[in-house]
Amino acid sequence: MTVRMLGMAIAGLSLAAAAPSDDPPAWTQPTAPFRIAGNIYYVGTAGLASYLIVTPKGLILLDPTMEENVPAIEANIKALGFKISDIKILLNSHAHFDHAGGLAAMKRDTGAKLDAMEQDVWALENGKHFGDQNYVGTFPPVKVDRRLKDGDKVTLGGVTMTAVLTAGHTSGCTTWTTTVKLKIGVKSVVFPCSLSVAGNKLYGNKTYPGIVADYRASFKRLSAIKADIVLTAHPELSDVMGRKASGKWLTPDLLPKMVAESKAAFDKELLKQQAIAK
């Protein structure tokens, strides 16, 4: 594995830089797969989420996490009784190694098509993070089969995933929305893309000059989205494991709270970077 460092948000507020040997152990710690609600399953590791959406015509996989986690994710899918070859569509929340690093291997193993937001295509196909930041990272490049625009829908077997551009964390950071049928009715499910600053340069970002405006637009946009169930790429940010234990997945107040906390952290970091620059 190549040397890399990636700033990651812990609870959406703090920053940590990690080299390969310093990645949080939970990121590669296998955990048993489980059903979340309806046709949505968790197949990731203890510290990185990978979500399986089941349809009558095949499977959709969102975020196969890191390259080294692909065997464990495939084992989890098989443990649920599904075939790897049934994965027809691969989706990604954003082009960072901890969420996109496994896409190339998963695509090779399954023959699935990769749909991704057009603003993240360069990063995915070059295996590099885009923009000015205080971390560097590479991951196996992967060919994107369908370039998505904001609002595009990915449909398989009667299940629709809608791509919502919530840029900032990456220029193509994608929040995915869908619905799930429960005994109590149809509920909205949101897979929010990260809103943390992480290692991004906010002030004077020459590669990604619109980063601040994108973050602010994403805060506004996500605050207006209704989310009965919130499922994050880093499971601790929406307490996925705790909710598994309690069985309480309906959290309609969670997304607005997450957005407010992320916006406050963003404003603080922007002022800090501006002060340092001056």
At 9 the pLDDT is: 36
Average pLDDT (135-160) is 94
Q: Tell me the CA distances in angstroms from 14 to 121, 187, 262, one per residue in order.
A: 28, 31, 10
Of 92, 93, 86, 90, which Cα lies nearest the Cα of 55? Answer: 86
At 137 the pLDDT is: 74
Q: Which residue's structure tokens are 């990185």?
A: 48
Average pLDDT (224-240) is 97
Which contacts of 202-208 are long-range, i.e. CB under 8 A and separated by 24 or more positions?
A: 202/266, 202/269, 202/270, 202/273, 203/270, 203/273, 203/274, 203/277, 204/132, 204/277, 205/131, 205/132, 206/132, 207/130, 207/131, 207/132, 208/130, 208/131, 208/132, 208/171
Residue 212 corresponds to which tokens in the numbers above?
């601040």
Q: Are 30 and 72 in contact (CB under 8 A)?
A: yes
- Look over the chain and give the mean of its residue pLDDT values, rounded to a whole number: 92
At 190 the pLDDT is: 98
At 46 the pLDDT is: 98
Looking at the chain, how many residues does it have? 278
Average pLDDT (206-221) is 97
> Is the sign of the CA dihedral 165, 247, 75, 48 positive or negative?
positive
Distance CA 160, CA 179 (A): 8
Q: How confident is the model at residue 12 (pLDDT cuts 50, 70, 90)?
A: very low
pLDDT in tens, 172-186: 999 999 999 999 999
- 10 pLDDT above the threshold of 50: no
At 131 the pLDDT is: 87
Q: Could you state, in order of their start, the residue ranges of all structural domains in the chain?
A: 8-277
Average pLDDT (112-124) is 98
Percentages (nearest 5) of helix, strand, coil residues in the chain: 35, 25, 40
Q: What is the chain's Cα-based Rg? A: 17
Q: Which residue's structure tokens are 């499971």?
A: 235
pLDDT in tens, 88-108: 999 999 999 999 999 999 999
- 17 pLDDT above the threshold of 70: no
Q: Are 130 and 122 in contact (CB under 8 A)?
A: yes
- 117 pLDDT above the threshold of 90: yes
Average pLDDT (153-176) is 98
CATH number of the domain located at residue range(s) 8-277 in this protein: 3.60.15.10
Q: How confident is the model at residue 136 (pLDDT cuts 50, 70, 90)?
A: low
Write phi, then psi, for 241 (nearest 5 degrees).
Answer: -70, -35
